[in-house]
Structure 1
Amino acid sequence: MISENQYFDGNVKSLGYETADGKSTIGIINPGEYQFGTAQKEIMHVVEGELSALLPDSEEWKLFSAGSHFEVPANSSFKVRSEVQTAYLCQYR
């Protein structure tokens, strides 16, 4: 089954699905800055565009371009910001 998700007044939208490895979402982030919380480890792949991320235990933003990824541990929070619409794949493990 495919689930639809919408956050931050529609500025982040995704479709969720299940694989043999676990839950994943694929979506679009509009320009802006957003804070997310995690329940599971998340692996965020930037498909198109670019995201800056402020990861847990970091004081500096790091830029991730298309084709790159970053990981966020379970039970934490992180911020992302983008200047352009950005497509992503998030794997929950």
Structure 2
Amino acid sequence: MISVNEYFEGNVKSIGYTTAIGNSTLGVMNPGSYEFGTSKHETMRVIEGEMTVLLPEASEWVTYKAGEAYEIDANKKFQVKVSVQTSYLCQYK
């Protein structure tokens, strides 16, 4: 089944789907700053553009570019800044 998700007044949109390895979302973020919360472990891979991320318990922001990925444990909050439209693949465990 495919689900459509919209967050932050339409500035972040994704399509959710399920494969043999689990649930994923494929989405796009407009330029802006966002705070997300996790309910499951997430692996976030940047497809196009870049994300500057402040991971839980981190003190410094890190920029992830196309082809790079980062992970966030379940039940954590993290912050993301994007300066250009950025697409991503998020896989849940």
Q: By the TM > 0.5 criterion, same fold?
A: yes
1:21 deviation in Å?
Answer: 1.2
In the alignment, is residue 35 of structure 1 matched against residue 35 of structure 2? yes
Instruction: Supply the distance in 1 between the matched residues of 2:32 and 2:52 (Cα, whole angstroms).
Output: 10
TM-score (norm 2): 0.99
Structure 1: give runs of 5+ residues left out of the alignment.
none
SS in 2 for 1:60: coil
Stretches of 4+ aligned residues off by more than 6 angstroms: none
Count of aligned pairs between the two proteins: 93
Q: CA RMSD in A?
A: 0.4
How far apart are residue 2 of structure 1 and its match?
A: 0.6
* Cα distance in 2 for residues equivalent to 1:36 and 1:70: 14
Q: Distance in 2 between matches of 1:20 and 1:79?
A: 29
TM-score by length of 1: 0.99
Is residue 49 of structure 1 aligned with residue 45 of structure 2? Answer: no
- Which letter maps to 2:50? E
Q: Deviations over 1:6-60 (max 9, x none)?
A: 0000000000000111110000000000000001000000000000000001011
Identity of aligned residues (%): 56
